[in-house]
Amino acid sequence: MTHRCSFACHLVLTGLAACMAVAPHRFTMAAAERADAVTLAEIFNGRDFTGWKVPAEPYWRVENGAIVGESDDAMKGSMLYTEKTYGDVDFEAEFRFQGDVDSGVMMRKPEVQVQIGISRSLKRDMTGSFYVGKYPEEAQAKRAGAILKPGEWNRLRIVARGDTFTVWLNGEQVSTYTAPAHGEPAPIGLQVHKNVRMKVEFRNVKAGAP
């Protein structure tokens, strides 16, 4: 019995080692994403904008359990912010878009943006990258294009701890940014960019503080 158990255990461990050897990056990223997770609370109830500051522009609505940001022909742009402010925070949401979209998630003050969609200045998709008046080279999500699922729901996670910001897209870490100057607590914001006719959706929007 002891010999059989040892042999079976050896097979299991050998198989697990082989799987990890085939896909070490995915195992590492999944473990890293879970390691510092905090308890998240819904900050969007799926029905209305309770807990959010609704702007004057008629670009935001709740539809089928999701926040919808959609511009009109005026393309003025608009921001939807939470009423609550956040410093260190673990933020998570699902988003979906098609075509030429320029959106993002804002946090802290001075503002840090995690890009969703196509940059107006760079003319290419920069989803998961950080924008602070520019896109710092070291903070660009260069692998995100291979992970993003256009037209489908994608899961975004942003962790802000002290001066370090980290982004996961569909379970894989895609970018990190160290920004000591961006330390003040602020509301979390969602964006409809000006000068683009666009539509973006968000659902399962959650946040938690460590």
Query: Do 125 and 101 share a structural domain?
Result: yes
**Phi and psi dihedrals of 144, rounded to 5?**
-60, -30
Say whether both 116 and 190 belong to one domain: yes
Q: Which two tokens stand for residue 39?
A: 């308890």
Pairing type for strands 186-192 and 130-131 reads unpaired
Q: At what angle do helices 24-35 and 2-22 cross, to 10 degrees?
A: 90
| Residues 89 and 59 reside in one and the same domain | yes
| pLDDT of 13 above 90 | no
Same domain, 7 and 90: no
Cis check: omega of the bond before 136, within 30 degrees of 0: no
- Which tokens is 25 given? 């990056």
Are residues 101 and 177 located together in one domain of the fold? yes
The per-residue pLDDT of the chain, averaged, comes to 88
Phi-psi region of 4 (alpha: psi -120 to 50; beta: other; left: phi over 0): alpha
Helix (H) / strand (E) element for 33: namely: helix 24-35
Q: Given pLDDT bands bounded at 50, 70 and 90, which one contains residue 36?
A: low
Q: 45 and 147 in one domain? A: yes
Q: Could you tell me if 24 and 98 lie in one domain?
A: no
Whether residue 92 is found in the same domain as residue 139:
yes
Instruction: Work out the average pLDDT over 104-117.
Output: 98
The whole model's pTM is what?
0.83
Region 40-57: mean pLDDT is 97
Q: Which band of pLDDT confidence, cut at 50, 70 and 90, is reported for residue 8?
A: very low
Tell me the CATH number at 193: 2.60.120.560
What is the per-residue pLDDT for 26? Answer: 43
Residues 15 and 70 in one domain: no
Which of the four pLDDT bands, split at 50, 70 and 90, describes residue 38? confident
Extract the tokens encoding 17.
Answer: 């080692």
Same structural domain, 27 and 47: no
Burial of 152 (0-12, 13-18, 19+ CB in 10 A): exposed
**Domains contained in the chain, number:** 2
pLDDT band at 210 (very low <50, low <70, confident <90, very high): confident
Tokens found for residue 8: 């079976």
Q: How confident is the model at residue 37 (pLDDT cuts 50, 70, 90)?
A: low
Residues 56 and 139 occupy one common structural domain: yes
Domain span including residue 126: 41-208
Statement to judge: residues 21 and 77 lie in one domain: no
Tokens of 150: 């256009």
**Mean pLDDT in residue range 17-46:** 60
